[in-house]
Each structure stands twice: as structure tokens, then as C-alpha cells.
Structure 1
Amino acid sequence: MSELERVATATPDDNVAVAPPEVDLIHDSDDRLRPEFVSEVLDLVEAGDNEAARARVAPLHPADVADLIELARVDERDGLVAALAGIVDADVVAELNDYVRETLIDEMAPEQVADLAGQLDTDDAVAILEDLEEDEQRAVLRAMEPDDRAAIEEALTYPEESAGRLMQRELIAVPEHWDVGQVIDYLRSGEQLADDFWEVFVVGPRHHPVGTCKLSAILRTRREVPVAEIMAREQTLIPVDMDQEDVALRFQKYALVSAAVVDKSGRLVGMITVDDIVHIIQEEAGEDVLLLSGAGDGDINEPVRFAVRTRLTWLIINLGTAIVAASVVGLFQGEISRLALLAVLMPIVSGMGGNAGTQTLAVVVRALATNQLTSSNTVRMIARELKIALANGLSLGLLIGTGVALVYANPLLGSVMGTAMIINNLVAGLAGIMVPVALDRMKIDPAVSSAVFVTMATDVMGFFSFLGLAALVGLGS
């Protein structure tokens, strides 16, 4: 038995010295940069020991270097980036948070930005340039190589968050009359080809995609076999103007690694790869959650003035809906003055209705975003949510109604409380599905403003049902 085999099969009693696993002093168990490491690098930069700082940072992946820059305070970032000259390259810039990257780019000369963009795939270069002011954008484009400039200018003509902005132009396309040997020779020709790809697109005379060949199929097939015999003719084509969220859904549904992007005439103009889609899925998921709360981008690197403006807008709208709900309470001032207990209990009804509505709203918005809820099953979804709302309302109504009746020795008050809880849960379930579906039908993002209307509906109906029933049965008379 060899020494390697002996170590591999050793038991604790074999007295074989096995080296302990190396402790990662840079990352924690969640693969985040350790605070001690971040502080160490920043201390080296502050002390002027840039060489030592670069030595500590050099082994990091570009994404980790980007994290390091983002974790530094705003007033520390310029010094850190300057100290890491040569390490903060195009790949690092592409990984940076949008706000941090924009601040960094603003400090660069157009020629520097052009050099960075020229080193990136088209989609990453577009992400850097698309947020620049128009005059700055033109200056950068003028400083770029003609081929790179033409590709980026074309990409910028497509709508934001579309496949045209997301795709990269660097791909491998071969004619369908080639054989496998010709494809292999072409890939080895030394011509300027795409660096990263998982499949070869096969095109017809008009550059329309007619099939795809996986690299594994090409490598395992004899040279003389025609490409047309091994290519997969069934493929998922992405229209250049498709929204990025719909692109992500196609990748998820069909388990794609890459996909061809075609223009309106059906010509192959680019490809989208799964690594870009991972970012899109993360962005879209986080975006919907934040929009539901009215928190805007919710980015901790977002300038304070932008965050205040976005959040204040929705808070003012919420203030208006709160005034509407308060006006309903004002209609029953007489009943409340005669039985102050009503003022104590009514927030429970509206609050529970709001929670129930939020639950339904979250489910429906997600279903709409993932195409699980369509016009084909809307009625069935409404019926389902109403059943859930009724079951929850009956359970909560029975619980709170019995509790109120026992605690305050007032069965009539308990009955009113329980009935109002049932009514408001039904309203919450109905509003939670109808509001986002209606907004979606009107081509309005249901994640943006649904919560405001659902909350208003549950508050108004919660107060109205509880106080109205109390007035109807004569509580406090």
C-alpha cells in the first residue's frame, strides 16, 4: 500500500499524522469577509503600507475585492481603491454594487472608463455605461475601440432591463453545412473568439439559429460527422426586447445554461448565460419584496437623499389612506364615547385583517411574478384564497370572540368582535388577490402599490364592520 493510500484509509489508532484542516482567516462560515480581515486591510492602507495591503488582498476573488470596497466607509473607499491599484480591475468593477460603482466611475477619466469597459463582456460594459450622464457616456464611447463602441451603442438602443441589455455579443456560431472537424479547427484557429461558452450555435444562410451543439457532443464525435447530425434543433430563443424577468423565467422553466437572442427578423444577435440570470433572479426577488414595503431600492449604499425621497413618497400616500380609515372611525364617535372599550378593541380587528391581507398579497405577487397565476386560473385562485380567508376568519373570530366575552363578561361584545373578525378576513383575502391582479391587468407592477390599497381596505372595513355592528346591536346604549 502506498503512503497516500495508507493515509487515506487510516483509522485514529494507526498513528498517522494527518494535517488539521486549514483555517480560513479571510472568510467566515457564511463565506463573508471577516471583520478582522477588513479592518486589517484598511489599517494597512491608512498607515500607508499599500504593498502589504495589496499582498493581503491579491488572493481574493474579484467578487470578494468588490465586497471589501463596499464594506469600507465612504470616506475610506478612494484611498482603498488607490492603494489596490492593479487589483481593482474590470472584473472587480463589474462586481461592485451599482451605487458604489457609479461613485467610483465618476472619479475616473473617460479614457480609464473606456479601458475598463473594453475588457468586459458587452453586458457588463453596458451595465457600467448605462447610468452615466449623456455627455459622460459619449466621452467614454469616443475613447473606446470602434468594434466595442458599436456593440455597446447598439445595446444601449434596447429598453432597460431587456434581453438586449442583458445579452453578450461574444458567442460561437457556425454554418450548418460544416462538419465537426471544421468546428474544432475553427475553435482552435486563434481568431478572437468568445472566452466562455457552453454550446455552439448553428446558423443558416441568413444567420438565423437552426440548432445548438453542446461542447460535450462536439468533443465526443468523429471529425467527419456533419454538425447537422448532432445538433439539437429544438432550442429556446429569446427575443431581444423581452423583459429580463421573463428571460429568467424561461431559464428556470427549461433549465437552460445559455440561450440565443434573436432580433425581430429572427437573426442571431447575442446570447445570455446562466450566470447573468442568477443576478437577475436575485435582483427581481429582492425588488418585489422592497416594492411591497415602499422602501425603494432598499440598498444600504443608496444615498440618503434618494432613500428619503422614495420612502417619504409612499409614507405620504399611506398617510392619506390612514386619514380615510380615521374618517370611518369618526362616524362612530358617539358609540365610542359611550363605550370606550370599543376604542381598545377595534385596532385588533383592523390589525389582524392587515396581516391576513399581507399574507395573501405576498402569495399572489409571487404567483404573478413566476407566471403561476394567469387568466386561466384566476377564478380558481380567488376561490382558494376566499376559502383560506373564511377558515382563518372563523378560527380567529371564535378565538377572539370567546376571549372578549369571557374577559369583559359581555357575550354581545364578543359576538360583535368575532363577526367583525370574520368579515375583515374575507375582505383581506379578496383585496389581497383582486388588487394585484387588477394592477397586473392594467400593466402596472403589482408589487409597487398593492400594499397601500390592501391596507386601506382592511383598515376601513375593520373599523366599519366592528363599529358598525356595535352601533347596530346597540352596544354602549
Structure 2
Amino acid sequence: MADLDEKKRSDDAAEEAESQDAFDELYGLDDETVEACASAVDQEQPADALRALVEPLHAADLADLLERLTHDQRVGLLRALGEDLDYEVFSYLDYSVRDDLVDVLTVKQLAAIVADLESDDAVDLLEDLPEERQQEVLRAVPAAERAFYERSLSYPEESAGRLMRHEVVTIPNFWTVGQTIDYMRDEEIELPDDFYNVVVVSPAYRPVGLLQLSKLLRSRRVVAVSDIMEAEPKLVPGDMDQEDVAFIFRQYGLVEAPVVEESGRLIGVLTFDDVVDVMDEEHEDDILKLGGVSEDDFYADIFRTTRLRFSWLLVNLGTAIVASLVIALFEDTLEKAVALAVLMPIVASMGGNAGTQTLTVAVRAQAVNELTAANAMRIIWKEVIVGGINGFLFAIIMGLVAWGWFGDPMLGGVIAFAMIANLIVAGLAGTLIPLGIERIGQDPAVASTVFLTTITDVVGFFVFLGLASVVLL
């Protein structure tokens, strides 16, 4: 039997090693390359040596490399590469690192980067620049491109207008498959590097359909485009919030969607890769806010990280003081029964953890439009009942533990009742708090946790100590 277990562990280890080898082959960056580049920059080796080290790297891998280096090493590598730098790297960089590098670039260099990037990535870079520098860069790019960037930047932040790209393949709705293919093969026509659909437009340049390239290639030349296109495509307004855009893409499995202005005219297109980035950003943002961090400060300097976290810790200090004031109300009770001080944190901890479970599910459900006013009452009752059932089960466990620990059945009854009450309140608060915060127009992920912790601590302490002062003393 022992031999079989050992063989199984050996096989599992071999499979894990094989899987890791496959990952290493697909992922183009390794620790040796990072160390070699860092050492080459520190030793001020010739630029050709640095170019040889990074030449095999994909732009995304080069972005990871830059993120792992120090500020001085990043700047040194950037200057060594010069015009040989793949500007696409700026579309993959963490925002903090990108801002760090942008600060050392000239307006001419930034204009060259903007001109080289796809329009949606260029707008993403431009929108983070200070207003004065942004205008300087815009004046340095060609007039035709500048008009598009200015139009995109006129839309609200985190909207479809900021995400869209203006490189779109459009054809009139009266064309045939043959005309469309001939148009796309015309060497004088400049088409986007990558696209998945052709947007079919009316004479007023309003989208009336989407034509998948797979359908186009499978159809006979004489077939009318209007016969094979997807009629009535999902049209995204330019001012739609990016969270709503992500929901539409996820809900209907979209690959691309035309973006229109108020009049219905086509102004750009959204692609799934940009929407996936939005989903990642929104999920990351929610996770960070639930942890009391306003933004990703992993690459920020010490003072910036300290400043970003201080305000939230200050709020938490205030709520902790509120909970302490509740404990102070029962100071005499605690002096007479030391066991209460030992058991008190258990009640608060269980309520906080149970509430966090409910809160996490509720905030996630809100993000994907699953928790709405229509079903809120049903979800609230469900969480209250779940809290009550769990509270009852843990009340039995903790009541018996307290009885056996301190030899007092009444003490076991007190903590059992407090456990039930606090878990019911945790389920109720974990649902009501994000709903209430959303109702007043704020992000539920930002402040929900601190309110929840305060409520479960205050209720847990008040019920436990209040009941103990009546029953035990």
C-alpha cells in the first residue's frame, strides 16, 4: 500500500513538472532573462547587448520585464533600446509603471508611440497624461488622428467612447459578397491589422448589420450582404459605462460591437480583448476596494503607498473606537466575569466572517446585474435564514464548548444566543449594506466592508455582554 502511495505521489509530481515545463515554453520570460537584463543595465553594457537580450520577447513579456526592474533600470533599458523599442509594450504595462516611464519621455517620443499604437490603446495612454502634456502630444500627431483622439477623449472616463477603436471595416448594405471581397483585397485600401466582422452601414452611416468573416468566405460572390449579415446588431452608445459594456458582451457572447453617437452614426467599434481587460480591471478594483485599498499600489513608491492606505486605516480606527465604546459600557460586567473577555472576540469574529461571505456574494451579484430591486427581498430573506441556521448550529457547538470550558451552562446559553443573533444580523447587513450604498449612487465595494465590520462587532458585543450582565450577574 505504501509503495502504491509513493508511486502515485511520484506520478503526480511528474505531471506537475510536465505542466510547468509546458507553461515555461509558452511564457516567454524567465528569471534568467530578468537578471541578465538588470545586470546589463547596471553595468552599462552596449545597447546592442541589451537589444539582443530582449529581441525574442513578445511585447507583453517585455512589459513584465520592465515591471520587474527598478526605476533606474527601466529608464536605462528604455534609452538603450531607443527606436527599436516595440511601442506595443505600453498597452501591456501596469498603469503605475507606465506613468513612471512616460514621465521620462519627450513629447516627440510620446507622439511617436501614440501614432504607432492602435487607436484604443493610444487613447488609453493619452487619457492618463496631465492636461497640458496631453495637448502637446495631440498637437504633435497628424490632424486626422488628432480629431479621433479628441472625440474619444470628449467622452466620460471609463465609457465605451474611451474604449473604442476607430479602425473599422465598413461596407454599404447594397453590396454583394463579391464586391466586399474585392474591396478587402484592394491594396490601396487600408484595413485594420485584426478584425472579425465587417460593419454593414446605411447611406446615413448608421450600422444596420454585422457580417462575420467566416460567413463571408463561405458564401457565393453573387449573394447579397444583406442576406447573410446579422441584422439588428447590439449598438453601444459612446457614453455607456464600461461595466455595462462588459455585461452586454458577456451576456450575449459578443466578439465585436459597433459604437454609435447620439444620432446613431457609427463612430468606432469595441472588440472583446478590450472588454476582457475591462472585466479584469473591474474585478481587480472590487477586490482591492473590499480590502480597503483604493488602487493597485504594488509598483508605487513607499510614500505613495502609505498615503493611499492611510485614509482607509483612519476610517477603520474610527469604527474600532465605536466598538470599543460599546465594550466600555459593560466594563463592570467584564471585571466580574473574566470568561466574557475570553469568549467575546469569538462572537464578533464569527459575525464578521459570516457577513463577509454574504457581502462578497452580494457585491459580485450586483456587478453582474444578478442582484436587483426586483429580487432583493428574496435574497435578503435567504441570507437571513442561512445566517439563522448557521447561527443555530454554531450556537450548539460554542455553547457546549463554553459550558465545558468554564463549567457554567448559563454562560454557554448566553454565547449561544449571541451567536444566533449576530449571524442573523450578519446575513441581513451583508445584503442590505451594498444595496443601500448602491441606492445612493456609490460603489458598494468601497465602503461595505467597514460598515459591515462595525455592525457585526457592535451587535455581537452588545448582545453578548448585555445578556451576560442580565443573566449571569
TM-score scaled to structure 1, two decimals? 0.92
State the distance in 1 between where 2:69 and 2:307 align.
25
Measured after TM superposition, the shift of residue 26 of structure 1 is 12
| Contact 1:89–1:116 under 8 Å retained in 2 | no
Q: How does 1:433-444 map to 2 (within 5 A)?
A: 433-444=431-442
Q: Structure 1 stretch 303-312 or stretch 165-174: which is displaced more?
A: 303-312
Residue identity in the other structure for 2:91: A
- 1:26–1:33 Cα contact (<8 Å) kept: no
Q: Distance in 2 between matches of 1:153 and 1:392?
A: 56
> Which residue in 2 is equivalent to 1:149?
146
Q: Tell me the equivalent position of 2:264.
A: 266
CA distances 1:264-297 after superposition (whole Å, capped 9, x unpaired): 1111111110111111111111110110111121
* C-alpha separation in 2, matches of 1:39 and 1:230: 54
**Deviations 1:81-111 (CA, angstroms, capped at 9, x unpaired):** 2223344222112211111111211111111
Pairs within 5 Å for 1:385-424: 385-424=383-422
1:303 to 297, 301, 325: 301
Change (3 A) 1:26 1:94: farther
What is the CA RMSD across the aligned residues, in angstroms?
1.8
Q: CA offset at residue 352 of structure 1?
A: 1.0
Counterpart AA for 2:254: L
| Structure 1 contact 350–458 (Cα < 8 Å) conserved | yes
1:307 is displaced (CA, Å) by 2.3
CA contact (8 A) 2:292 2:309 kept: yes
* CA–CA separation in structure 1 for the residues paired with 2:22 and 2:380: 51
Alpha-carbon distance in 2 for matches of 1:32, 1:401: 57
Q: Secondary structure at the match of 1:438?
A: helix
Q: Is the 8 A contact 2:258 2:268 kept in 1?
A: yes
Alignment of 1:217-228 (within 5 A): 217-228=215-226
Question: Is 2:327 the partner of 1:329?
Answer: yes
Aligned pair count reads 454
- Distance (Å, rounded) in 2 between the aligned partners of 1:191 and 1:453: 58
What is the match of residue 250 of structure 2? Answer: 252
1:54-453 map, 5 Å = 54-189=51-186, 190-453=188-451
Give the secondary structure class of the aligned counterpart of 1:259: strand
* Residues 363-417 of structure 1: per-residue CA shift (max 9 Å, x gap): 0000000111111111111111111111111111111111000111000000001
> Does the 8 Å contact 1:58/1:87 carry over to 2?
no
Q: Distance in 1 between matches of 2:420 and 2:20?
A: 55
Report the CA distance between 1:243 and its aligned residue: 0.9
1:50 corresponds to 2:47: yes
Mapped partners of 1:305, 1:369: distance in 2: 32
Alpha-carbon offset, residue 32 of structure 1: 7.0
Contact 1:413–1:470 under 8 Å retained in 2 = yes
Structure 2 counterpart of 1:219, one-letter code = L
Asked if 1 retains the 8 angstrom alpha-carbon contact of 2:235 and 2:260, the reply is yes
**1:9 corresponds to which residue?**
none
Using the alignment, how far apart are the partners of 1:266 and 1:307 within structure 2?
44
Provide the secondary structure at the position in 2 that maps to 1:202.
strand
Normalised to the residue count of structure 2, the TM-score between the two structures is 0.93
Given that 1:295 and 1:307 are in contact with CA atoms closer than 8 Å, whether structure 2 keeps it comes out as no
From 28, 31, 43, the equivalent of 2:27 is 31
Question: Which residue identity does 1:149 align to in structure 2?
Answer: R
Q: Which has the higher helix share?
A: 2
Whether contact under 8 Å (1:400, 1:417) holds in the other structure is yes
Gapped runs of 5+ residues in structure 1?
1-21
Identity %: 47
Q: Would the aligned equivalents of 1:294 and 1:310 in 2 still touch at CA under 8 Å?
A: no
Question: Is the 8 Å Cα contact of residues 111 and 140 (structure 1) preserved in structure 2?
Answer: yes
Change (3 A) 1:35 1:88: same
Where in structure 2 are there 5+ consecutive unaligned residues? 1-17
Question: How many angstroms does 1:45 deviate by?
Answer: 2.9
Structure 1 Cα separation of the partners of residues 347 and 85 of structure 2: 56
1:149-189 C-alpha deviation (Å, 9 max, x unpaired): 11101111101000000000110111101111211121122
* Conserved? CA contact 1:25–1:37, under 8 Å: no
Q: How far apart are 1:309 and its partner, in Å?
A: 2.0
